Amino acid sequence: MNKSTSSIDISKDISLKESEMLLLRGRAGTVAIVKVGPRGQFFLETEHEEIVLGLEPHDLIIASALSVGEMPEKGLKCVLFMIREIRSPLIVLPKSHPASPRLPIVVSAGKKTVLSCNITPGTHPNQDVLCGSNEFDSLELTGTPEGVQIKNMPPCEVLKVNFDI
């Protein structure tokens, strides 16, 4: 497990293998990132349709929790495992759905994702925006063949862990 504390960078590249998960641990939230891997077809379920996402192996699946600690990190890993390995669909709720404010973890999948603290959790079918804590607002994550390109990273702890259950 690699640990480091980062300061705000214009752009930072971090290597990430398919067998690893990258954690960005802030004061109020946690972001977990894995590569899509070779089985790049995922299903996105909305209120009215099912959308097939065709993703490249170097694209990312990102999960965000509005909390920190061991329990949210286990949850993030489990959610990412359910989506990537078990092939659970990504579910998008309608904007007025009563469960939206209670979602402890939200997920996005694609080449590039920007985190925002100004959106309703779990309600965005466009997989380029994800709800995150205030400190991660405007964090931009892009998959690269070697890993992850990160822009607008706040001071946070960066951990790389094995992606297994």
Q: Each residue of 26-85: pLDDT tens digit? A: 999 999 999 999 999 999 999 999 999 999 999 999 999 999 999 999 999 999 999 999
Distances (CA, A) of 16 to 21, 33, 116, 129, 146: 7, 9, 23, 21, 7
Q: Each residue of 112-165: pLDDT tens digit? A: 999 998 888 888 888 899 999 999 999 999 999 999 999 999 999 999 999 998
Give residue 10's identity as a one-letter amino acid code.
I
**Counted domains in the chain:** 1
Domain that holds residue 138: 2-162
- CB atoms under 10 Å from CB of 2, counted, come to 11
